Amino acid sequence: MIPRLRRKLNSCAEKAISSFSSDLTDTIDIGGEIEVTEVPVQQGNRLIGTRIRDSKIREETGANIIGAWIDGELQLPPDPDAIIRSNTVLLVTGARDALEAFSDFTQPARTLQKHERIIVAGQGEVGQASREVISERGLDVVTIDIEDRDGVDVVGDSRTDEILEEAGVETAGAIIIGLPDDSGSLLTTVLARSLNHDIEILVRVTDTDATRKALSAGADYVLSVPRVSARMVARELRGEDVLAPASQIRLLRVPATPLAGSTLAKSGIYEKTGCRVIAIKDGSGFTSAVDPQRKFTGTEHIVLVGSDEAVQQFRKQFDVSPIKS
């Protein structure tokens, strides 16, 4: 694995550590003091079980929920009646202070207790990178691997209750699962969740189709290696904005040339591609108040958000090159 991709896979460890903090990470400034970020809903979040329409996010913080990953599906915009669950990922926009207020409102910082630890199951590339990141932060880490080698604390199969219990899963704060096969990772996820309802579970998968299965099995965060690779290309070669290579959404800034003389409602962008326009830049600056009946001159810039597939479909349908931020 190339060093750059290995560094990107550190995201599992960073996510595990961030679960004990309400600090904002991976935000993008899209202009006009408007920022966008993804916020995974973690165990214990006050919003769990709440319908999006009843969350009072805008009233309490000034931030706006513009999208949500629910059960592995991206909703742009989210269904107002959708129920927020522990593996929901909210896509939020607003000024910096609004996003900080949102983070504090939804998930107040947890304290890493002395008895808590982060478990790393599997000491391949992802496991080794995660162990290094966690150790550098001075946190307690326990590693599991089927082979007895340097850096392994518990030798055995993490797909068994006995080995997970030996590693202390019942009192751990988080577990990072990076086994060589997705089926083993899914089984470990199920077992870890059954042994500790409150543990944060972060899973690496090699098959994109395994993402939804991992969420259904009890994972809070799923990192798909193929998607990470695609986002690295998008960020570094195509000039697209990506919150982080491990993020679940992509942002695209493009000229509004294809929309000249038309309105957003008539453009069919969402219907044809699944992308949503979240901001417009014209001569007067940026605005996130997007009027679907506004007629474009073609000189504007628009900012879109969507899944990997949606962004690819937009580029194919509208044949326009991104603007580098």
pLDDT at 153 over 60: yes
pLDDT at 114 over 60: no
For residue 234, the model assigns a pLDDT of: 42
The DSSP symbol for 89 reads: E
Distance CA 102, CA 112 (A): 22
> What is the 3-state composition of the chain as percent helix, strand, coil, each rounded to the nearest 5?
35, 25, 40
Question: Would you state the structure tokens that stand for residue 225, as one six-digit string?
Answer: 């290696």
User: Residue 2's pLDDT band (boundaries 50, 70, 90)?
Assistant: very low
* % of residues, the chain, pLDDT over 90: 29
More confident of the two residues 171 and 75: 171
Report which secondary-structure segment, H or E, holds 185: helix 182-195
User: Residue 69's pLDDT band (boundaries 50, 70, 90)?
Assistant: confident
Phi, psi angle pair for 214, to nearest 5°: -65, -40
When computed from its CA atoms, the radius of gyration of the chain, rounded to whole angstroms, is 21
Distance CA 309, CA 162 (A): 41
pLDDT at 251 over 70: yes
Q: Which bin fits 71, alpha (ψ -120 to 50), beta or left (φ > 0)? A: left
pLDDT at 241 over 80: no
Distance CA 231, CA 250 (A): 8
